[in-house]
Structure 1
Amino acid sequence: MKILKLFFFIALLYTTANAQITKGNWLVGGDANFSSVKNKSETGDEKFNDFRINPNVGYFFMDKISGGLQVNLVFTNTNPGNDSTKASSYGFAPFVRYYFLETDERINIFAEANYSYRIGKTGSSDNINWNGYGFKAGTVLFFNSSVGLEFSINYVDTTRRIDNFNINTIFVGFGFQIHLEKK
Structure 2
Amino acid sequence: MKKILCLLGVAAFVTIGVANAQIEKGNLMVGSDLGSSLASPSGSATNSGLFGMNFGLNKGDGFNIGINPKIGYFVKDNVMIGGVVNLGFSKAPNYNGAAKTTSYGIQALGRYYLNPGEQGVNNLLKHGRFFGEVNAGFAGFNTTGGNTTNGFAFGFGPGYSYFITPNVALEGLLKYNGLVGGGNTTYRHAIGLSLGIQVFLPSAKVKSIVNDPSQL
Q: Which TM-score tier does this pair reach, normalised by the shorter chain?
A: 0.7 to 0.9
**Aligned partner of 1:141 among 129, 148, 162:** 162
Q: What residue number does 1:174 align with?
A: 195
Higher helix residue share = 2
**Aligned partner of 2:32 among 30, 34, 56:** 30
Unaligned runs of 5+ in 2: 49-65, 118-122, 205-216
Give secondary structure in 2 for the equivalent of 1:49: coil
In structure 1, C-alpha distance between the alignment counterparts of 2:15 and 2:179, rounded to whole Å: 39
Structure 2 residue 17 is matched with structure 1 residue 20? no
Q: What residue number does 1:109 align with?
A: 130
CA contact (8 A) 1:24 1:59 kept: yes
Q: With the length of structure 1 as denominator, give the TM-score of the two structures.
A: 0.78
Higher strand residue share = 1
In structure 1, C-alpha distance between the alignment counterparts of 2:41 and 2:183, rounded to whole Å: 20
CA contact (8 A) 1:131 1:161 kept: no
In structure 1, C-alpha distance between the alignment counterparts of 2:72 and 2:162, rounded to whole Å: 18
Please list the CA deviations of residues 145-183 of structure 1 after superposition, one character each: whole Å capped at 9, or x if unmatched: 211000111110112422343211112110011110132
Please give the root-mean-square deviation of Cα atoms over the aligned residues, in Å: 3.2
* Paired residues for 1:1-183 under 5 Å: 3=4, 6-7=7-8, 9-15=10-16, 17-18=17-18, 19-34=21-36, 39=42, 46-51=43-48, 52-77=66-91, 80-82=93-95, 83-102=97-116, 106-118=127-139, 122=143, 129-183=150-204
Distance 1:180 1:165, change over 3 A: same
Per mean C-alpha deviation after superposition, the further-off stretch among 89-98 and 104-113 is 104-113
Residue type matched to 1:86 in 2? K
Measured after TM superposition, the shift of residue 27 of structure 1 is 0.7
In structure 1, C-alpha distance between the alignment counterparts of 2:46 and 2:135, rounded to whole Å: 22
Per mean C-alpha deviation after superposition, the further-off stretch among 173-182 and 130-139 is 130-139
Give secondary structure in 1 for the equivalent of 2:165: coil
Return the index of the structure with the highest Cα Rg: 2
Measured after TM superposition, the shift of residue 31 of structure 1 is 0.3
In structure 1, C-alpha distance between the alignment counterparts of 2:40 and 2:116, rounded to whole Å: 37
Measured after TM superposition, the shift of residue 123 of structure 1 is 5.2
Q: How many residues align?
A: 174
CA contact (8 A) 1:54 1:73 kept: yes
In structure 2, C-alpha distance between the alignment counterparts of 1:160 and 1:4, rounded to whole Å: 50
In structure 2, C-alpha distance between the alignment counterparts of 1:121 and 1:3, rounded to whole Å: 42
Measured after TM superposition, the shift of residue 10 of structure 1 is 1.7
Q: What residue number does 1:42 align with?
A: none
Unaligned runs of 5+ in 1: 40-45
Measured after TM superposition, the shift of residue 144 of structure 1 is 1.9
Distance 1:153 1:159, change over 3 A: same
Give secondary structure in 2 for the equivalent of 1:57: strand
> Percent of pairs identical after alignment?
30
